[in-house]
């Protein structure tokens, strides 16, 4: 396979909502370039990019897939991405390494909610963007309405490059405003005729052409001078201005397509070749230490790994972008994050699941290698003389969670390995092994994300699992002081056990004054692993309890604090003062005082007006104006406290504090309320008291479960 230089490599990511035609466009581009001899289809389950069984079953993309075309002396690397925001991690990694994003819009539906979510990441990384209005051959296609909606959502940088002459079921012609030519396609698509623009369209075409010329001139001072001198620009000058505008995020060219009928894809590919920037044109990559890494073919070798896939019977596939220099098969490179050396024994260019072996890849190219031991997503490999770690891809926080159990107990250990592999492939799928809850918690982007994960575990790894409702990490504390005495006495022949302690417990808060009621001999302050504090006071006088037994009393208290009496949750923010007790010269020992301390604490806790605390989350919802009332009502029904309202980018934002108990299923409910048009962010805020009636209900449920299990 030919090795392309950095100027002739273009990396694009096909992004957009589900059913906008990304996979079909990728298939058509491969066909047009002669990479494949027959176009597959999503319906026939034979496309290059959707090759996983779950994608065939769902008839939509779940994973990003890398392909390439060779078109008029240029290599175009294509990353096809899913259109459902549950799989946003796949989109983000593709956008991170592409040099141009091609955003497909469905001509019937315009700008859909998931396109807006995806746009946030395209805009964050400041990627040059082409908008392609697809499916213009469908009955209700409306190009003008789609473009106007795009301008409302993405700004006036939206710039019409083409428009359809006869959209709808008879679609077969496009007016190209850069070349001022009409392309008319045969019924089977493919190569069009180049014709004069019809007279009745000339006035509109000239008007839009002049707007295009002005847009191109705005981004280059020399071009602006030429435009003022001549009143126009030639095609090459316009291409120069369009490229500068795309780089500055001031121009988003709009193209016309029917990917399914192979109409318009060749012209789009030509524009990508001639105008869209290559990696060498893009700003330098930034390392974690803020060092700049420009795309220089003669520079040191730097590879950034953006995706990991584990294939059964094959092993780990690691996808990378050559940021600088070049890499050859057999090269040894250094991973400074893991401080290990890796040998790239083989290099591939991927076309879906097909691997094309290559000997060398140059700066700006995308590639893949096999079986790296210590290099994963977000890692960097460097050549000699350079130690770089590229700034990692930032993946979004999960939006929903579920507890996971293996139906077959013998699969539990293997399940841990499977979940580790799934997280390795998809960093937005977060696995938590909660000792506190005694559950494996799976955090994901949504219900569909969870459903696909379950499908993979059961169908790829052949393990049966069950999703159940996750428990809540409650905390327990007290609301008033209480005193308790406990004597532990046990005699069974020989040395016995004896220990008696008198303790006082109180609610603790930062800045609390020291104990006054009893003489304070010593104070220990313990920051608890689960949050909050325990203050342990030694108030013993007259040697009632030997000092050497006090650590055992503390140990008993700490042990009991790991399983509070209300719901079995961790206890926090309590001051314990040991002020009296008794011991036996023979029978007293550490275990006796540990048990006495534990039981005294338990009794005092019950008498100190126990209070259950629940985790409260900061919730931020961004939505269209007309949906604010419904979202507000739903949040209030979930015991939320509204903290504020604001506007952002023409949308409304509600900030609230909501109990985690009420957030179960909220992501799905919010999608339903807003037709998927809302954006949700959640993060832990604090623990707060549970209402009395709810506390009683939760305690009664806990007692019932404990009784059944005993």
Q: What is the CATH number of the domain that holds 295?
A: 2.40.30.10
585 shares its domain with 625: no
What residues pair up with 485 in beta bridges, in sequence order? 502
Is 391 a member of any domain?
no
Picking from 468, 500, 524, the residue at the C-terminal end of a domain is 468
Domain count of the fold of the chain = 5
Q: What is the CATH number of the domain that holds 599?
A: 3.30.230.10
515 shares its domain with 412: no
What residues pair up with 468 in beta bridges, in sequence order? 403
- Cα 610–chain centre separation: 39
- Cα 269–chain centre separation: 30
CA distance 24 to 40: 8
Is 40 a member of any domain?
yes
575 shares its domain with 549: yes
- Tokens standing for residue 691: 């209402």
Is 238 a member of any domain?
no
**pLDDT at residue number 232:** 86
How large is the average pLDDT for residues 2-12? 84
**pLDDT at residue number 1:** 61
271 shares its domain with 356: no
CA distance 40 to 43: 9
For residue 667, the enclosing domain spans: 613-693
CA distance 654 to 659: 16
DSSP symbol at 600: H
CA distance 346 to 303: 15
Phi/psi for 383 (5° steps) reads -80, 180
Whether the predicted pLDDT of 710 surpasses 70:
no
Picking from 281, 303, 334, the residue at the C-terminal end of a domain is 281
Q: What is the CATH number of the domain that holds 79?
A: 3.40.50.300
CA distance 463 to 19: 31
262 shares its domain with 307: no
Q: What average pLDDT is seen over the chain?
A: 94
Is 49 a member of any domain?
yes
Q: Of 387, 297, 285, nearest to 341 (Cα)?
A: 387
SS3 state at 377? coil
**pLDDT at residue number 357:** 94
508 shares its domain with 521: yes
160 shares its domain with 41: yes
Whether the predicted pLDDT of 649 surpasses 80:
no
Whether the predicted pLDDT of 169 surpasses 90:
yes
Helix or strand run (H / E) with residue 129: strand 129-134
Residue listed under structure tokens 């584990």: 310
Phi/psi for 267 (5° steps) reads -65, -40
How large is the average pLDDT for residues 567-574? 95
CA distance 652 to 648: 6
Is the Cα torsion angle 137, 139, 143, 146 positive or negative in sign? negative
CA torsion 152-156-162-163 (nearest 10°) is 40
For the stretch 106-121, what's the b/e string if a residue is b when 16 or more beta carbons lie within 10 angstroms of its beta carbon? Answer: bbbbbbbbbbbbbbeb
DSSP symbol at 338: T
CA distance 613 to 472: 11
CA distance 238 to 209: 11
Is 702 a member of any domain?
no
168 shares its domain with 260: yes
**Which pLDDT band holds residue 142 (cuts at 50, 70, 90)?**
very high
How large is the average pLDDT for residues 90-101? 97
How large is the average pLDDT for residues 684-708? 92
294 shares its domain with 272: no
**pLDDT at residue number 162:** 97
Picking from 266, 281, 296, the residue at the C-terminal end of a domain is 281
If 0-12 CB within 10 Å is exposed, 13-18 middle and 19+ buried, where does residue 195 land?
A: exposed
Looking at per-residue pLDDT, the higher value among 227 and 484 belongs to 484
Q: Residue 698, Cβ neighbours under 10 Å: how many?
A: 19
Q: What is the pLDDT of residues 376-387, one digit of tens each?
A: 999 999 998 899
Q: Could you please report the per-residue DSSP string of 479-536?
A: SS-EEEEEEEEE-SSSS-EEEEEEEEEEE--TTPPPP-SS---EEEEEE-TTSSEEEE
Whether the predicted pLDDT of 5 surpasses 90:
no
449 shares its domain with 562: no
How large is the average pLDDT for residues 599-627? 95
Is the Cα torsion angle 535, 540, 544, 547 positive or negative in sign? positive
Whether the predicted pLDDT of 71 surpasses 90:
no
Q: What angle do CA 35, 37, 41 make, to 5 degrees?
A: 95
What residues pair up with 70 in beta bridges, in sequence order? 75
How many angstroms separate the Cα of 74 from the Cα of each of 69, 355, 366, 587, 685? Answer: 8, 20, 14, 88, 52
**Which pLDDT band holds residue 493 (cuts at 50, 70, 90)?**
low
181 shares its domain with 277: yes
Is 394 a member of any domain?
no
Q: Of 410, 393, 408, 398, nearest to 442 (Cα)?
A: 398
Q: What is the CATH number of the domain that holds 451?
A: 3.30.70.870
What residues pair up with 707 in beta bridges, in sequence order? none
**Which pLDDT band holds residue 603 (cuts at 50, 70, 90)?**
very high
Radius of gyration of the chain (CA): 32
If 0-12 CB within 10 Å is exposed, 13-18 middle and 19+ buried, where does residue 708 land?
A: exposed
CA distance 132 to 129: 10
CA distance 229 to 23: 45
- Tokens standing for residue 367: 């590639």
Q: Of 461, 457, 458, nearest to 313 (Cα)?
A: 461
178 shares its domain with 104: yes
Is 566 a member of any domain?
yes
Is 235 a member of any domain?
no
């Amino acid at each position: 396979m030919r090795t392309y230089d950095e100027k002739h490599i273009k990396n694009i990511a096909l992004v957009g909502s589900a059913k906008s035609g990304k996979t079909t466009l990728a298939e058509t581009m491969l066909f047009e370039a002669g990479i494949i001899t027959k176009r597959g289809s999503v319906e026939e389950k034979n496309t290059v990019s959707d090759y996983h069984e779950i994608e065939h079953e769902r008839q939509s993309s779940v994973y990003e897939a890398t392909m390439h075309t060779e078109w008029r002396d240029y290599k175009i690397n294509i990353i096809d991405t899913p259109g459902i925001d549950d799989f946003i991690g796949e989109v983000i990694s593709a956008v991170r390494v592409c040099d141009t994003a091609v955003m497909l819009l469905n001509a019937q539906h315009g700008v859909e909610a998931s396109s807006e979510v995806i746009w946030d990441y395209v805009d964050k990384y400041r990627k040059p963007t082409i908008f392609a209005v697809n499916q213009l051959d469908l009955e209700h296609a409306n190009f003008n309405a789609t473009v106007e909606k795009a301008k409302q959502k993405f700004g006036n940088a939206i710039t019409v490059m083409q428009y359809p002459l006869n959209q709808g079921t008879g679609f077969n012609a496009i007016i190209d405003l850069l070349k001022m030519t009409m392309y008319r396609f045969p019924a089977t698509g493919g190569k069009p005729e180049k014709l004069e623009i019809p007279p009745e369209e000339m006035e509109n075409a000239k008007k839009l052409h002049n707007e295009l010329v002005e847009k191109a001139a705005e981004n280059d001072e020399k071009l602006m001078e030429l435009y003022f001198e001549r009143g126009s620009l030639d095609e090459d000058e316009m291409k120069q201005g369009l490229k500068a505008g795309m780089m500055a995020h001031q121009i988003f060219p709009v193209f016309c397509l029917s990917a399914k009928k192979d109409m318009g894809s060749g012209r789009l590919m030509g524009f990508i070749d001639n105008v869209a920037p290559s990696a060498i044109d893009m700003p330098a990559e930034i390392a974690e230490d803020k060092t700049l890494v420009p795309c220089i073919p003669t520079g040191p070798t730097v590879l950034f790994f953006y995706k990991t896939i584990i294939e059964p019977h094959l092993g780990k596939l690691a996808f990378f972008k050559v940021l600088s220099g070049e890499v050859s098969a057999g090269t040894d490179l250094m991973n400074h994050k893991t401080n290990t050396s890796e040998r790239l024994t083989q290099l591939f260019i991927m076309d879906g699941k097909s691997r094309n072996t290559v000997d060398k890849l140059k700066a700006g190219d995308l590639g893949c290698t096999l079986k790296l031991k210590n290099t994963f997503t977000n890692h960097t490999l460097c050549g000699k003389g350079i130690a770089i770690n590229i700034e990692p891809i930032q993946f979004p926080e999960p939006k929903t969670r579920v507890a996971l159990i293996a139906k077959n107990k013998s699969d539990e250990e293997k399940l841990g390995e499977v979940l580790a592999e799934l997280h390795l492939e998809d960093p937005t799928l977060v696995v938590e092994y909660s000792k506190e809850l005694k559950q494996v918690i799976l955090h994901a982007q949504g219900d569909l994300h969870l459903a696909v994960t379950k499908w993979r575990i059961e169908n790829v790894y052949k393990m049966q699992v069950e999703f159940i409702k996750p428990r809540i990490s409650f905390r327990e504390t007290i609301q008033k002081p209480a005193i308790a005495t406990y004597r532990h006495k046990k005699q069974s022949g020989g040395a016995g056990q004896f220990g008696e302690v008198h303790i006082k417990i109180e609610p603790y808060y930062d800045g609390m004054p020291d104990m006054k009621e009893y003489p304070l001999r010593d104070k220990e302050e313990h920051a608890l692993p689960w949050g909050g504090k325990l203050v342990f006071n030694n108030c013993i006088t007259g040697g009632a309890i030997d000092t050497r037994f006090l650590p055992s009393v503390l140990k008993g208290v700490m042990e009991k604090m790991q399983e509070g009496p209300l719901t079995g949750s961790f206890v926090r923010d309590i001051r314990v003062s040991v002020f009296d007790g008794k011991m036996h010269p023979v029978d007293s020992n550490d275990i006796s005082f540990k048990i006495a301390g534990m039981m005294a604490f338990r009794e005092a806790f019950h008498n100190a007006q126990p209070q259950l605390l629940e985790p409260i989350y900061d919730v931020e919802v961004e939505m269209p104006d007309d949906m604010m009332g419904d979202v507000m009502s739903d949040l209030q029904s979930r015991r939320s406290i509204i903290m504020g309202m604001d506007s952002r980018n023409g949308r409304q934002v509600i900030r609230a504090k909501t109990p985690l108990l009420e957030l179960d299923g909220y992501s799905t409910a919010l999608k339903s309320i807003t037709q998927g048009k809302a954006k949700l962010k959640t993060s832990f805020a604090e623990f707060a008291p549970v209402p009395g009636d709810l506390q009683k209900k939760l305690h009664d449920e806990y007692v019932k479960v404990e009784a059944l299990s005993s």
